């Protein structure tokens, strides 16, 4: 595909040396053989050096790996090459200012590990808050009970649920595995510490105080008697329920990374029912990493509003409160479908195969999420792209303009440039690559590229390496038809059509609308999903204001991949164009006929 960047493995996902290099892997993480942390064993390291010297891997491939890794670095104007004196100003392994140079190996002299440089700013904090606000999705708002206002008779509210308050262990447990309080992220090795956390209880209480609304708080869901008492006297109850997940090396309550089911944690369903049975205006906030099963309570007449909030970072509580009290008009849209039955979701694979690992056969092919629901005409509870607003919008005047005439087949891309050799003989005497023991001592756990001896082969010189089927040691002079540029054949990114529509704010509040462009391909050569998202645009409008949303359809957007010919093909037939409010709510539509 002529990908111009560098290819890096997932953590521990490299399982071969020569084969992975020939297949296009440029960087391996963390470097060690999987499950041999800090062992110094690697599929590359000295083995990669040896493969270059014995010419199993061409020198050109090594040069290519280095160039791919360095080019993005050099493309950043604000970054300079580090000098020999340069050192990182932080360590991801410790929060202490000073410690051993190699903390996990317990080796090396005492050095400064962290300079504690403040990376945040008022600007970055505002961006984080805005992102959190715009991500909140309003799923239900019966009777326009939101936003909350004392003038609507709301004088006392109950805030309930473990997710509304702070975890007793704090908000920076190791790898963010705290699950007994407000969720800011999933757990795992990539989780970072929160500088602080604004919980829903704190933010909602502050908003309520501003309007003279009194607040009760029940974070302990085990004692339902107290919850039921508060519910019976509340004008409105706000229930924060949750579902967590994270990285598989951490197990929480039988959940090994991924969730083992789609139910709420901390008996969330039971809590909602107990409150909604007594409070006629119950608002449910689902703070979750993904879809949850809602059928037990979603149609309860007393559940007047539902919000979905993904892991929103340290401003999770403020974002939720700003939407509930109307300071922010919700504009988030669901990035997945919420079904009515558990059978409508991809099955949760929890059985082990012979290699002791769960196996998914991907028998749904490309029909995932909304594509699966569309294919089988299943009505979801809330569809992909769904989200309500406190105002209303209308969409009109769809226009489709041809920019470039489409052709069925791709043109061939330009031939590759001639190879540039840095020196005439790159691979020299292997003695030059031996470990320089006289210059420094090796630290345990480190992976070094040096050879430990001059033996370059594990097999006789007459034997040939078993290269993958179809691999050629001769470099290609021209790219494949599907390749030749950034992201593939440059013609794939040629704009064929421009689609525009007018969006009008018909309501009385300022708000943001997310216009979604869906495309339905003809099935001339192959069956295709009923709808495929091909673009979206969020526009903010004052009451009565109108604007134009614009989308560009590229050849890639309108093509299918043909495996036998290994190329992208533009089918003849009728292409249906939809500008929608969600995957199921079509606002305006049109057609494009190609080769008919």
pLDDT at 1: 45
Please check whether residue 319 is in contact with residue 342, taking contact to mean a CB–CB distance below 8 angstroms: no
In a domain, 346, yes or no: no
Q: Confirm whether 300 is domain-assigned.
A: yes
Q: Which of 440, 458, 474 is where one domain is finished? A: 474
Name beta bridge partners: 159: 217, 238
CATH of the domain at 153: 3.40.50.1700
pLDDT reported for residue 459: 63
pLDDT given at position 164:
96
Catalytic residue from among 10, 441, 462, 466: 10
493 and 552 fall within a common domain: yes
Note whether 46 and 129 are same-domain residues: no
Query: Do residues 484 and 531 lie in contact, with contact meaning Cβ atoms separated by under 8 Å?
Result: no
Question: Does 210 share its domain with 127?
Answer: yes
For residue 315, tell me if it sits in a domain: yes
Residues 277 and 159 in one domain: yes
Q: Residue 505's pLDDT is what?
A: 98
The per-residue pLDDT for 427 is 63
Considering the domain architecture, whether residues 142 and 271 belong to the same structural domain is answered as yes
Numbers of helices and strands, H then E, in the chain:
10, 19
Residues 252 and 158 in one domain: yes
In a domain, 55, yes or no: yes
The domain that contains 544 carries what CATH number? Answer: 2.60.40.10
Is cis: bond before 147, omega within 30 of 0? yes
Cβ–Cβ under 8 Å, residues 114 and 449? no
What lies within 8 Å, CB to CB, of 12 at 6+ separation is: 29, 30, 32, 34, 35
The residue behind tokens 């089911």 is 261
Residue 249, pLDDT score? 85
- Quick check: pTM over 0.85? yes
Question: How far apart are alpha carbons 545 and 550 in whole angstroms?
Answer: 17
Same domain, 504 and 545: yes
Would you state the pLDDT for residue 355? Answer: 66
**Residue 377 maps to a domain:** no
Spell out the per-residue pLDDT of the chain, length 596, in tens: 457 789 999 988 999 999 999 999 999 999 998 888 888 899 999 999 999 998 899 888 998 899 899 988 888 887 777 777 787 888 888 889 999 988 888 888 999 999 999 889 999 999 999 999 999 999 999 999 999 999 999 999 999 999 999 999 998 998 898 899 999 999 998 888 999 999 999 999 999 999 999 999 998 777 788 999 999 999 999 999 999 999 888 888 888 888 989 999 999 999 999 999 999 999 999 999 999 999 999 999 999 999 999 999 999 999 999 999 999 999 999 999 999 999 998 887 766 667 666 677 778 888 999 999 999 999 999 999 999 999 999 999 999 999 999 988 888 888 887 777 666 555 678 888 999 988 888 888 889 999 988 887 776 666 778 888 888 877 777 888 888 877 888 999 999 999 999 999 999 999 999 999 999 999 988 888 889 999 999 999 999 999 999 999 999 999 999 888 888 999 999 999 999 999 999 999 999 999 86
d(CA 518, CA 588): 11
Per-residue burial over 133-146, b if 16 or more Cβ lie within 10 Å, else e, is bbbbbbbbbeeebb
- Is residue 380 included in any domain, yes or no? no
Domain count, the chain: 3
Q: Which long-range contacts (CB under 8 A, 24 or more apart) does 457-466 make?
A: 457/54, 465/18, 465/56
Among 474, 500, 528, residue at a domain's last position = 474
DSSP 467: P
* 180 and 38 within one domain: no
Backbone angles phi, psi at 31, to 5 degrees: 120, -35
Backbone angles phi, psi at 340, to 5 degrees: -95, -25
Same domain flag for 450 and 489: no
Answer yes or no: is 363 within a domain: no
pLDDT on residue 149: 94
Q: Do residues 158 and 262 both lie within one domain?
A: yes
Could you tell me which residues are beta bridge partners of residue 402?
A: 497
516 with 575, same domain?
A: yes
Domain range for 190 is: 122-332
Q: Are residues 164 and 273 in the same domain?
A: yes
Residue at a domain's end among 442, 457, 474: 474
Does 75 fall in a domain?
yes
Instruction: Establish whether 225 is a catalytic residue.
Output: no
DSSP-derived secondary structure for 339-362: PSSGGGSPPP-----TTSS-----
């Amino acid at each position: 595909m002529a990908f111009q960047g560098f290819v890096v493995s997932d953590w521990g996902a490299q399982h071969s040396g020569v084969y992975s290099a020939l297949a296009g892997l440029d960087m391996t993480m963390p470097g060690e053989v999987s499950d041999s942390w800090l062992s110094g064993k690697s599929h590359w390291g000295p083995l990669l050096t040896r493969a270059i010297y014995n010419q199993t891997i061409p020198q050109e491939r090594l040069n290519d790996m280095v160039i791919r890794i360095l080019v993005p670095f050099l493309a950043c104007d604000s970054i300079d090459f580090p000098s020999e004196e340069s050192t990182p100003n932080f360590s991801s392994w410790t929060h202490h200012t000073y410690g051993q140079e190699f903390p996990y190996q317990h080796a090396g002299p005492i050095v400064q590990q962290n300079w504690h440089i403040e990376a945040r700013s008022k600007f970055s904090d505002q961006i984080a808050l805005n992102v959190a606000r715009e991500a909140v999705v309003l799923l239900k708002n019966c009777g326009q009970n939101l936003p909350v206002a004392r003038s609507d008779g709301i004088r006392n509210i109950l805030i309930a649920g473990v997710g509304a308050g702070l975890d007793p262990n704090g908000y920076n447990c190791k790898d963010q595995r705290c699950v007994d309080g407000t969720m800011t992220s999933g757990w795992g090795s990539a989780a970072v510490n929160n500088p602080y956390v604004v919980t829903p209880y704190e933010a909602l209480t502050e908003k309520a105080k501003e309007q003279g609304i009194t607040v009760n708080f029940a974070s302990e869901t085990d004692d339902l008697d107290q919850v039921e008492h508060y519910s019976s006297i509340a004008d409105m109850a706000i229930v924060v329920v949750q579902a967590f997940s994270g990285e598989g090396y951490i197990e929480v309550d039988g959940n090994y990374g991924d969730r083992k089911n789609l139910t709420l944690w901390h008996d969330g369903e039971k809590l909602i029912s107990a409150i909604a049975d007594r409070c006629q205006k119950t608002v449910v906030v689902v703070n979750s990493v993904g879809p949850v099963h809602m059928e037990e309570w979603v149609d309860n007449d007393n559940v007047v509003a539902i919000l979905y909030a993904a892991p929103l970072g340290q401003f999770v509580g403020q974002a939720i409160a700003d939407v509930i009290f109307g300071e922010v008009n919700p504009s988030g849209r669901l990035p997945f479908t919420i079904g009515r039955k558990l059978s409508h979701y991809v099955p949760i694979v929890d059985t082990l195969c012979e290699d002791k690992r769960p196996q998914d056969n991907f028998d749904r092919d490309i029909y995932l999420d909304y594509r699966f629901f569309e294919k089988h005409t299943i009505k979801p509870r809330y569809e992909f792209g769904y989200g309500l607003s406190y105002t209303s919008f209308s969409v009109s005047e769809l226009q489709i303009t041809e920019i470039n005439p489409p052709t069925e087949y791709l043109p061939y891309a330009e031939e590759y440039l001639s190879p540039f050799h840095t020196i005439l003989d790159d691979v020299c005497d292997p003695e030059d690559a031996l470990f320089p023991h006289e210059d420094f001592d090796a630290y345990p756990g480190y992976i070094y590229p040096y050879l430990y001896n001059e033996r370059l082969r594990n097999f006789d010189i007459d034997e040939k390496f078993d290269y993958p089927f179809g691999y050629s040691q001769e470099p290609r002079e021209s790219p494949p038809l599907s390749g030749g540029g950034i992201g593939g054949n440059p013609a794939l990114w040629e704009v064929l059509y421009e689609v525009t529509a007018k969006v009008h704010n018909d309501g009385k509040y300022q708000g943001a609308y997310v216009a979604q462009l869906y495309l339905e391909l003809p099935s001339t050569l192959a069956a295709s999903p009923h709808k495929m998202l091909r673009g979206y645009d969020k526009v903010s409008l004052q009451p009565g204001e109108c604007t134009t949303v614009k989308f560009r359809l590229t050849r890639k957007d309108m093509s299918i991949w043909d495996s036998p010919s290994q190329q992208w093909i533009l089918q003849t037939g009728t292409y249906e164009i939809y500008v929608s409010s969600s995957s199921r709510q079509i606002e305006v539509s049109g057609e494009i006929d190609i080769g008919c």
